[in-house]
Amino acid sequence: MRRVLRGIFGRALDLVYPGICHLCGEGVPGGRCLCRACGDELPRLRAPHCRICGQGFDGRIEAEFACPNCRDQSFAFEFARPALFRSDGAMTLVHDLKYGRRLELARELADLTVSAFSDPRLAEAHEQGWPLVPVPLHRRRHHWRQFNQSREIARPLGRRLGMPVLDLLRRIRPTETQTRLSRSQRQKNLRGAFAVRRGTVGGAGAVLVDDVFTTGSTAHECARVLRKAGFQKVIVVTVMRG
Ligand SMILES: [Zn+2]
Ligand SMILES: [Zn+2]
């Protein structure tokens, strides 16, 4: 009976979504939009990489290291763990979710992000069921985009991992787009942009979820606010290193 239902459900999904790989156009079954081959091709984060931001390093290096960007930084989070290195394929998926409103891509991105939790540094968070906290959008941008990509990724990620997803953060001030700002300008731009929701109770830790890790300014500011609300540790998990 269950198989019959799954078959009917799968075919219904095939009607809703064309069942085509978003990257290569090959047919894929039952509501998926990334084929196995394209998914496997996306470069997973692997050593050696910066222990703080995940930036890759060409060449051999045995010891843990921090990249030049992170070496002189004191972030409020412990470290960021992107699931993937930057690649054209990963960029396309993230970009089309966000700007092309292809919400069905969020599940594929969440499935890819599960691999970040193979990092032993995330074992504690996973075992203790720390909350996954999406980086929020300001309501004005949320209204315009109609969804928050970080939350759309966090929800199926939480289901896959058996971890709660809690919207603990609010963006209380709209901020200029960050892309053209230097790091110090970004930090100033974000100061006071986030707050925790009323009634938030801290704990051993929280995992901040975002689509891309770039300079770490947003993650730092969110982590700072969560730490202030009583979370002892904040770890950042993203789909991709920007
Ligand atoms: Zn494909
Ligand atoms: Zn780094």
Of the listed ligands, the closest to the CA of 92 is 1
CATH of residue 111: 3.40.50
| Per-chain residues with Cβ under 5 A from ion ligand 2 | 50, 52-53, 55, 67, 69-70
Span from the CA of 242 to the centroid of ligand 2 (angstroms): 11
Tell how far the Cα of 112 is from the centroid of ligand 1, in angstroms: 14
**109 lies in a domain?**
yes
In a domain? residue 149: yes
Instruction: Please give the model's pTM, rounded to 2 decimal places.
Output: 0.90
Within a domain: 27: no
Quick check: is 13 in a domain?
A: no
**Considering its fold, how many domains does the chain have in total?**
1
Is the confidence at residue 143, as pLDDT, over 60?
A: yes
The DSSP result for the chain, as a single string, is -HHHHHHHHHHHHHHHS--B-TTT--B-STT--S-HHHHHHS-B--SSBBTTT--B-SS---S-B--HHHHT---SSS-EEEEE---HHHHHHHHHHHTS--TTHHHHHHHHHGGGGGSGGGHHHHHHTPPEEEPPPBHHHHHHHSS-HHHHHHHHHHHHHT--B---EEE-S----STT--HHHHHHHHTT-EEEPTT----SEEEEEEEEESSSHHHHHHHHHHHHTT-SEEEEEEEEE-
Looking at the CA of 28, name the nearest ligand.
Answer: 1
**Is the pLDDT assigned to residue 104 strictly greater than 90?**
yes
Band (206; pLDDT cuts 50, 70, 90): very high
Residue 192's domain comprises 42-241
26 within some domain: no
Residue 193 belongs to a domain: yes
On whether residue 195 sits in a domain, the answer given is: yes
Write down the pLDDT at residue 138: 82
| Residue 30 within a domain | no
- The residue among 24, 32, 31, 35 whose CA lies nearest residue 88 is 24
Q: What is the pLDDT of residues 32-79, one digit of tens each?
A: 999 999 999 999 999 999 999 999 988 787 778 899 889 988 999 999
Average per-residue pLDDT for the chain: 91
Which ligand lies nearest to the CA atom of residue 241 in the structure?
2
Ligand 1 centre to CA of 1 (Å) is 31
